[in-house]
Amino acid sequence: MKTELFNGLVGDNPYFQAGFGLMGVGVGLTVLRQGLILGSTTLRRRLLVTLEVNNKDRAYEWFLTWLAHNANTAPQKRATSRWFRSHQLSVETAVEQRSNGSSSAIFRLVAGPGTHWLRYQGAWMQMKRERETRSMQLMSGNPWETITLTTLSRDRDLFPRLLAEARDLAMKSQQGKLVIRTAWGIEWRPFGQPRQKRPLHSVVLDTGVSEKIEQDVRAFLQRRQWYADRATLSVDLGIPYRRGYLLHGPPGSGKTSYIQALAGALSYDICLLNLSERGLADDKLIHLLSNAPERSFILIEDVDAAFNKRVQTSEDGYQSSVTFSGFLNALDGVASGEERIVFMTTNHIEKLDPALIRPGRVDLNVLVDDASPTQARTLFTRFYGGSDDIHPDVVHRLADQLEDIVAAEMGNGRRISMAALQGLFIRSGAVEAVESCRNLFVGKQV
Ligand SMILES: Nc1ncnc2c1ncn2[C@@H]1O[C@H](COP(=O)(O)OP(=O)(O)OP(=O)(O)O)[C@@H](O)[C@H]1O
């Protein structure tokens, strides 16, 4: 009785039948959709392979440089059959140093955020560059970025090959150049493009000063074997293989330029350390100083300024957290066979705590002063000497005059920096430079 009633209501009711029919179609479609998604995911997993490179990793920078290199190279000149085209570019500006000390900006067009396609050794790859806009890297303030490369599974071996090629390209572009690194968290990372090395003789210091520093560094490096042979003894006796240098003197006398030129001459890199940097604390400093890359000078500029700021608090409540004692500990480091060369510069040696400049922390303390008559003469001759526009005898006579002017002004207590002289020579002819140089001397007449 009940069944009949039910059949009467549902079975014979066209509305119910249509409803069930629709429901059936709906369920069928959903199952089909899920099936397709599952199927395509499985297919993707089986057929495609994905590589993620994050800008936390050094390979990220290498890969972008490799892309830019290939995008800018004519197809027939490319070493392997690869091809890259993009409509979403972004620009990265780097400063390139010329050998005479001047610099210029160079632009590199790289693949911007978005989807790009590239062909590498016959295989197509999809490249997605994504930028995280909501969170930033604490140390650099740069956004997090990821590059995802996708290709067919059968071409998975191409990923390591591509990365190795990108790394080799980066290494090649550094050969014969000076690499400057800065602290990135607890790591040292290249800062800008590798620079052209500056010849050591282009930084003109007073008689004997350059030779004194260079000889000391070379003698220290020659003792490497001595330390290596006595590694256990050195550790036991606490004789660390390190050397500290302090170059002090007025601004623009060539301290930084000289250290960079010396690093270049010895095929060393520079690790530039800013003690007032946000986020740098004693423990990080110790780590950085004990883990500098091989063959590099650690350069700490304006070392006096770092600890004046210690007591200052900026508006947002930030305080530099490196303490003076932490810095001394970091300089002393743990006794180890690892070589470490630290260069410090200051304009105010009188402000430095004696504890900092005692032997062991600073082994060679050198004054790099304003222009002496001889320095002014040498710089002048280097600048105008090779020119066809001016006879060597005239250069010689003008150099004599300049030397006399510098000597006379110095006698009167007035001085001129090498940076001011270089600026004058860049913007003036030889005669004009000598005639007008008196205006650039500073200091009280005695
Ligand atoms: N002795 C020098 N010989 C040749 N060029 C020099 C010399 N001194 C300074 N210059 C030029 O002046 C500019 C500034 O020099 P640099 O930064 O090396 O000076 P600094 O002593 O380190 O100054 P600061 O104490 O302000 O850091 C550079 O372009 C450099 O080429």
Q: Where are the domains of the chain?
A: 2-47, 49-175, 195-367, 373-440
Ligand 1 center–CA 225 separation, angstroms: 34
Ligand 1: lining residues by beta carbon, under 6 Å = 101, 203-205, 251-257, 345, 347, 379, 418-419, 422
Ligand 1 center–CA 368 separation, angstroms: 10
Distance of CA 328 to the CA centre of its chain: 25
pLDDT score recorded for residue 360: 84
Q: 195-367 adopts what CATH topology?
A: Rossmann fold (3.40.50)
pLDDT score recorded for residue 252: 96
Mean pLDDT of each 10-residue bin along the chain, 446 residues long = 57 69 83 83 78 88 84 52 58 59 65 84 89 65 84 89 91 85 86 87 96 96 78 64 94 97 94 87 88 91 75 52 87 70 95 90 96 97 87 94 96 95 94 94 77
Q: Which atom of ligand 1 lies at the shortest distance from residue 346's CA? A: 25
- Using the CB atoms, write b or e for 362-376: b if 16+ within 10 Å: bbbebebbbbbbebb
Tokens of 364: 């060679």
Closest alpha carbon to 327 in 271, 279, 285: 285
Tell whether pTM > 0.90. no
Candidate of 304, 346, 422 to mutate for ligand 1, largest count of ligand atoms within 8 Å of Cβ: 422
How far is the C-alpha of 264 from the C-alpha of 240, rounded, in Å? 25
pLDDT score recorded for residue 415: 95
Nearest CA to ligand 1 atom 27: 251
Ligand 1 center–CA 101 separation, angstroms: 9
Closest alpha carbon to 85 in 145, 125, 53: 125
